Structure 1
Amino acid sequence: MRVAVIGGGRNDEHVVSLASAAGVSYAVQLLGWESVALTIDDAGAWRDRHGATLSAARAIALMSECDVAYPALHGVHGEDGAVAGLLDLCSIPYVGSPVRAGAIGMDKWLTKLVAAALGIRTAAGVLLTPDAPAAVAMPLPVVVKPASGGSSNGVSVVTDSAQLPDAIAHARQSGETVLVEEYVRGREVDIAVFRDATGRLRLGSTLEIGVEDGGVFGRDAKYDGTARFTLPAEISSAEDAAIRAVASSLYEAMGCSGVARFDFFVTDTGPVLNEVNTSPGMTEQSQVPRMFAAVGVEYPQLIAELVAAAHVTEPIGIPA
């Protein structure tokens, strides 16, 4: 088995993606397979395992020579369906969600609209387009964040209206369209879902993130090793069942493939969906591998399951 593992990307999650790709490559090698490492550098150029620049045509040729591609890409120009579209057009089997699911998951406002159509609760919010004034009429505190993006880049909690313009400007550094949401008081609980090669949905353990009251799970805590995780989350059986049902229904409705992570706030009145991540962090110590390890699916096995269930697009026939 030859697996093309794609890391990096032209966005502010480049370094995080490199870490995920390194983890996936390590797991592939533990399985006794060959890892063909490809990187998209921060300028958008393709590079091989030695750092040599590749033409797009050569990169596609290398991926076509593999059995499957594993895009370990986070953020725009990757997680948003861009690379899935490329692989679809080239009829290269790949791990992860297709274009539609990636695009919906990357757009937090669109995710909220899909969730609302399914009757899933989300925080009340206002979308600020690039030319909108830096003002909203919402009770404080609010959370300000880019409408597209991840790794908590550009996220702020605003408790004073005087802070709002700076918070919006900060969010726009990571994406011109900004989402302002009510601050939901609740425990942060996540769960991950994937569909295996038999078509069955597989769910990991719930995972609770230790966050101080009034704070957010920020980028530093995500990656500096200080995050406090509890597996399984210390929630009631009813709350656990509700989270599992919502995550499963949203996975299906969005048309996800591969593994997706669903982030919730567990409140006194039930779970509130925060975000959906169709390309979550995939180092061995990332949340998703921890969730599945807690239910007996160790990291290499998880990668093997995802590869076995790779998304396959039939070649496009050209009429004679």
Structure 2
Amino acid sequence: MKLTILFGGASFEHEISIVSAISLKEKLSGFDLNFIFCDQDHTFYAIDQKDMKAKTFSSASHKKMPIVNLTNGGFTQKKLIGSKEHTGIVLNLIHGADGEDGTIAALLDFYSIKYIGPRINASVFSYDKRYTKYLCDSIGVKSVKYEVLNSSEQKDITIPYPIIIKPASLGSSIGVSIVNEESELDYALDTAYEFDKNLIIEPFIENVKEYNLAGYMADGEIQFSIVEEPQKNKFLDFEKKYMDFSRSSQVLKADISSDLENKLKQSFTKIYTGMFEGALIRCDFFVVNDEVYLNEINPIPGSMANYLFEDFKTAIEKLSNSLPHSKRAKVNYEYIHSINSAKGK
């Protein structure tokens, strides 16, 4: 199978995307893989598989590699004589801004490139945690109660301590703080506002049960991963999430009842259906008093959540064969021709 992995981007999660791409090089060995790196200046580079290692990017060696440009149907690399086409299905592996905010989805749609990843609408409702809350309300999925703060206004927090403060449009636990009392609040707010002008405030639930579930749509049905109960300390901070982030071996299935597993899958189905077709996503859930609450949607999960699938290669193949097709309007200038005809021109 031919697959182009698009990674990098101009976001706080740039390095995480690089780690994801390197891990998929191993996990999807045997595929005909191309790697396209989006630098922080939005230049695209074709990266040879042998150069897919962290030092290539940290040392800026990628800048010596061929530049490619988006064209209809794929990426094109200009050569001294002619050009080289990088066609086939693109896997959008850009985390955070660019990849998850709808920017790349819009570009790929504009150039009629088939891709695995969230479409524009799905990106909007999963990238900004405020909109994710609105989505939950509209489809009947429970989420933890919350308040919104904005850097341009003064507003008291009414949720009792301890609370958790999150930048609204950022993942990977970047800028997230647990605040146990008022004396810790200002520092936590300053930290979060470094990354986003909008913040989400939620109650911090001690010893909450957390479960992760990934899935995708293929052949008209959602294909689920196993349910994972992530190991964590107080909460899954950046280091815990991503220092062991390149893992590629399958994790153990959570020891939960079939009833709870069905509840998680039902909530996942409500979130996915009619919104995330074409993407492999991971949803992180809380369970409180046997009730399921959505914590967050990961529209492009780290390393594509490969460790949750028994056969990740088959999952990617099946998803690739079930991508949605967007219809383009046919332009025939019939309206203009009719006006000209009426005027006798």
Task: Give the TM-score category using the shorter length.
Answer: 0.7 to 0.9
Alignment partner, residue 13 of structure 1: 13
Aligned-residue offset at 1:30: 1.3
Higher relative contact order (CA 8 A, sep 6+): 1
Alignment partner, residue 270 of structure 1: 291
SS of residue paired to 2:148: strand
Alignment partner, residue 343 of structure 2: none
The structure 1 residue matched to 2:213, chosen from 191, 206, 221, is 191
| Paired amino acid for 1:62 | T
RMSD: 2.4
Normalization by structure 2: what TM-score?
0.81
Aligned-residue offset at 1:277: 0.8
The structure 1 residue matched to 2:100, chosen from 73, 79, 82, is 79
Alignment partner, residue 196 of structure 2: 175
| Paired amino acid for 2:20 | S
Equivalence map 1:24-173=2 (5 Å): 24-31=24-31, 33=32, 35-49=33-47, 51=62, 52=65, 54=67, 56-57=69-70, 61-62=75-76, 65-133=86-154, 135-173=156-194
| Paired amino acid for 2:237 | G
Task: Kindly indicate whether the alpha-carbon contact (under 8 Å) linking 1:206 and 1:233 is maintained by their aligned counterparts in 2.
Answer: yes
SS of residue paired to 2:229: strand
The structure 2 residue matched to 1:319, chosen from 323, 327, 332, is 332
Are the structure 2 counterparts of residues 45 and 133 from structure 1 closer, same or farther at C-alpha, using a change threshold of 3 Å? farther
Are the structure 2 counterparts of residues 154 and 116 from structure 1 closer, same or farther at C-alpha, using a change threshold of 3 Å? same
Q: Percent identity?
A: 24
Task: Kindly indicate whether the alpha-carbon contact (under 8 Å) linking 1:188 and 1:211 is maintained by their aligned counterparts in 2.
Answer: no
Alignment partner, residue 307 of structure 1: 320
1: CA distance, partners of 2:38 / 2:270: 33
Number of residue pairs aligned between Structure 1 and Structure 2: 306
Are the structure 2 counterparts of residues 5 and 97 from structure 1 closer, same or farther at C-alpha, using a change threshold of 3 Å? same
Aligned-residue offset at 1:43: 3.0
Normalization by structure 1: what TM-score?
0.87
2: CA distance, partners of 1:141 / 1:189: 22
Aligned-residue offset at 1:209: 1.2
Aligned-residue offset at 1:156: 0.6
Are the structure 2 counterparts of residues 159 and 303 from structure 1 closer, same or farther at C-alpha, using a change threshold of 3 Å? same
1: CA distance, partners of 2:164 / 2:269: 26
Task: Kindly indicate whether the alpha-carbon contact (under 8 Å) linking 2:69 and 2:76 is maintained by their aligned counterparts in 1.
Answer: no
2: CA distance, partners of 1:254 / 1:37: 27
2: CA distance, partners of 1:61 / 1:242: 42
Any stretches of 5+ residues in structure 2 without a counterpart? 49-61, 78-84, 334-345
The structure 2 residue matched to 1:223, chosen from 242, 249, 270, is 242
2: CA distance, partners of 1:153 / 1:46: 26
SS of residue paired to 1:282: helix
Indicate the structure (1 or 2) with the bigger Cα radius of gyration. Answer: 2
1: CA distance, partners of 2:128 / 2:243: 26
* Structure 1 residue 235 corresponds to structure 2 residue 270: no
SS of residue paired to 2:34: strand
Task: Kindly indicate whether the alpha-carbon contact (under 8 Å) linking 2:251 and 2:308 is maintained by their aligned counterparts in 1.
Answer: no
SS of residue paired to 2:240: helix
2: CA distance, partners of 1:239 / 1:131: 42
SS of residue paired to 2:295: strand
Aligned-residue offset at 1:183: 1.4
2: CA distance, partners of 1:190 / 1:272: 12
The structure 2 residue matched to 1:291, chosen from 305, 308, 311, is 308
Are the structure 2 counterparts of residues 231 and 26 from structure 1 closer, same or farther at C-alpha, using a change threshold of 3 Å? closer
Task: Kindly indicate whether the alpha-carbon contact (under 8 Å) linking 1:5 and 1:25 is maintained by their aligned counterparts in 2.
Answer: no
2: CA distance, partners of 1:156 / 1:306: 36
1: CA distance, partners of 2:228 / 2:130: 24
Task: Kindly indicate whether the alpha-carbon contact (under 8 Å) linking 2:115 and 2:278 is maintained by their aligned counterparts in 1.
Answer: no
2: CA distance, partners of 1:239 / 1:311: 31
Aligned-residue offset at 1:3: 2.2
308-317 vs 147-156, which moves further: 308-317
| Paired amino acid for 1:125 | Y
